[in-house]
Amino acid sequence: MEDGKPVWAPHPADGFQLGTIVDIGADSLSIEPLKQKGKTFLAAVNQVFPAEDDVNKHVEDNCSLMYLNEATLLNNVRVRYSKDKIYTFVANILIAVNPYYDIPKLYNPETISKYRGRSLGTLPPHVYAIADKAYRDMKVLKMSQSIIVSGESGAGKTENTKFVLRYLTSSYGTGQDIDERIVEGQTLFTLSFESIAPFVFIHNAVVGGFVSHYLLEKSRICRQSKEERNYHIFYRLSAGASEDIRQKFHLSSPDTFRHLKSGPLKDPLLDDHGDFNRMSVAMKKIGLDDTEKLDLFRVVAGVLHLGNIDFEEAGSTSGGCTIKNQSSEALEHSAELLGLEEEDLRVSLTSRVMLTTAGGAKGTVIKVPLKVEQANNARDALAKAVYSRLFDHVVTRVNQCFPFESSANFIGVLDIAGFGWSPSKPLLTSYLQLCAMFYWKKITHHYLDHEQELYQREGLGVNEVHYVDNQDCIDLVEAKMVGVLDILDEENRLPQPSDQHFTDTVHNKHKNHFRLTVPRKSKLAVHRNVRDDEGFIIRHFAGAVCYETTKFVEKNNDALHMSLECLVSESKDRFVRELFENSNNSKDAKQKAGKLGFISVGNKFKVSFGFTLFVVQLVRLL
Ligand SMILES: Nc1ncnc2c1ncn2[C@@H]1O[C@H](COP(=O)(O)OP(=O)(O)OP(=O)(O)O)[C@@H](O)[C@H]1O
């Protein structure tokens, strides 16, 4: 930093502010803000950065900045954003800022043709430039390519993934129906199921594709936080569908459904009616006929009605519960829409059937009445199971729409959410955030390791990039027996699992682990408000994150008790029956459900990561 020249120093709301250094202390600097003369404040040396000579000038590639640091990068992106230039390069990485309005001509066909075949950097930064580079590299290097789209919720991942697909299909497609289908397949997910990580393969001449998903956040179907909405399709259907469809499926406004009313009912940026119509068009274009479309809507409606079933104590000596009288309509509608006998559904929601394996006569069937809490869990497990099977079905159907032949090379587009942590948001309350963090750690580890190795192997003479090896953090989460995910799986297998017991076990097993500590020992008050048996802190490279463990046990458990599983597997409704037949094709699964009754979400995350890693290794870019 040069004497007297402006610097970027921390600002509580804007990230950074311009100022000059007026005094240098042992480990801090005294800064006088340019806009508030005389109001000097202290800032840590490592949080003060040199500023560019002209802070109102912007560059297309952050690497062209005289000083490249966190503050100049943010300022450059901010200046560009104020001029509607939402894209900025950092070499071959593209930063996109969501404009939340349609910037004229930014994505029109003329712009698409302008970027075709042009090298990166010869035209202004654009997601099309990235897509074109991926295509050209695939052809020239004869090597598959990956495009990873990441960011917080609402950052614009889905939109940009769509722009990539549209660009590739428009520029290098076959000009046939298949191009449209690939884009419409993606649209269908955006407009209805969202929260998926499609890994779309586009073969040599964009002749096919494939959508893969690694995890559906099932817990969101039954419970959302105050600011969170359920999956789009529920609102599209209850608020946006035509009157005849709503009547057919006994649907009224979103505020009449338990699964919807705990979060915001209306998103001011979304048009449920318009999106319902766009979703229907997308379904048609990918080849779903009216019957299949109605099948899909019917099941979604069934899940909504199911959520409105309430229980109360039976008042008998059995200690069980019954369905409240006020819920009789919800029971009737959900049974009808899911093709079940009303009475069978009532019995399966309020009791579970167990087969004895020891003592007494082997194989004796015992009907165990459920308490209110257990019946609530059973109802939610059924809703989650039905919805997630439907989701799998849609993924399969979309994949059937475009050919997927083996091909030497492909382009993968991975849409993956960040895990939502920032220094100003140091408390994470969602189990899924822990899983996403884990996923990212693995990707980063793999990326850095792989790149270093590649540079060395190819003798590129690139200085070794020093990075903090996060393997110990990955182990903390995934190690066998002692990793957080395995401890959680073990907890779920206990007769009476609890979040507190799980949290205590994590602390006990990692008493001396450098990365893990109890909330009480945190420097941050917001962490200390969490009791030691309600959370744990993981010290990441970027800062300490406190994970609140409330509902971890519940969210890790996707089990559906055997009586309910059998009930839906034998639904009168062919569509529902097939949903369960396809993904539950072995007797084994039923037996397992009877014994352990537990399928772990965390494990699915590990398995699906294995899949992505496999693809990613193939693609070599990561
Ligand atoms: N480039 C863009 N131009 C115009 N509007 C945009 C753009 N990118 C995003 N948006 C708007 O922002 C909204 C949210 O974007 P998007 O759905 O892509 O976010 P996301 O990162 O996929 O969020 P989530 O992780 O919650 O699915 C879009 O519905 C759209 O209205």
3-state DSSP of 49-95? EECCCCCCCCCCEHHHCCCCCHHHHHHHHHHHHHCCCCEEEECCEEE
Contact in structure between 443 and 239 (CB atoms under 8 Å): no
Looking from the CA of residue 86, the nearest atom of ligand 1 is: 1
The response to whether residue 274 sits with its C-beta less than 6 Å from ligand 1 reads: no
C-alpha separations of 558 from 391, 532, 601 in Å: 15, 26, 7
- Residue 194, pLDDT above cutoff 80: no
Q: Is 156 annotated as a binding residue?
A: yes
Confidence of residue 515 (pLDDT cuts 50, 70, 90): confident
Phi and psi at residue 451, in whole multiples of 5°? -60, -45
Which token pair is 567?
A: 């009930």
Looking from the CA of residue 195, the nearest atom of ligand 1 is: 27
- DSSP letters of 192-249? II-----EEEEETTS-----------THHHH---TT----HHHHHHHHHS-HHHHHHT
The response to whether residue 100 sits with its C-beta less than 6 Å from ligand 1 reads: yes
Residue at 352: amino acid letter: R
Predicted structure pTM score: 0.63
The response to whether residue 417 sits with its C-beta less than 6 Å from ligand 1 reads: yes
Which token pair is 208?
A: 């096919």
Going by their DSSP bridges, the two strands 410-417 and 145-151 should be labelled as parallel
Structure-token match 């893969």, residue found: 212
- pLDDT for position 603: 53
- Residue 492, pLDDT above cutoff 50: yes
- Residue 459, pLDDT above cutoff 80: no
CA torsion angle for 560, 561, 565, 568 (degrees, to 10)? -90
The response to whether residue 102 sits with its C-beta less than 6 Å from ligand 1 reads: yes
Confidence of residue 411 (pLDDT cuts 50, 70, 90): confident
What's the whole-number mean pLDDT along residues 59-65? 93
* Residue of minimum CA distance from atom 16 in ligand 1: 156
CA torsion angle for 229, 231, 237, 238 (degrees, to 10)? -30
User: CA-CA distance, 464 to 487, in Å (whole number)?
Assistant: 36
pLDDT, tens only, 461-485: 545 555 555 677 777 877 778 888 8
* Residue of minimum CA distance from atom 1 in ligand 1: 98
- pLDDT for position 132: 94
558 C-alpha to ligand 1 centroid (Å): 30
Residue 428: CB atoms within 10 Å: 20
Contact in structure between 285 and 181 (CB atoms under 8 Å): yes
Which token pair is 615?
A: 């693809």
- pLDDT for position 557: 65
- pLDDT for position 142: 79
Min mean pLDDT across 189-203, 365-379, 438-452, 527-541 is at 189-203
Q: Is 154 annotated as a binding residue?
A: yes
Going by C-alpha positions, the residue among 115, 118, 120, 116 that lies closest to residue 88 is 120
Min mean pLDDT across 31-35, 198-202, 339-343, 497-501 is at 198-202
101 C-alpha to ligand 1 centroid (Å): 10
Structure-token match 């006088």, residue found: 32
Structure-token match 């959508």, residue found: 211
Confidence of residue 217 (pLDDT cuts 50, 70, 90): low
What's the whole-number mean pLDDT along residues 25-29? 85
Predicted complex ipTM exceeds 0.90: yes
Going by C-alpha positions, the residue among 349, 340, 277 that lies closest to residue 307 is 349
Min mean pLDDT across 42-51, 185-194, 424-433 is at 424-433
- pLDDT for position 266: 77
- pLDDT for position 612: 44
Min mean pLDDT across 58-62, 141-145, 443-447 is at 443-447
489 C-alpha to ligand 1 centroid (Å): 35
DSSP run (H or E) holding 22: strand 15-24
- Residue 117, pLDDT above cutoff 90: yes
- pLDDT for position 464: 55
Residue 460: CB atoms within 10 Å: 9
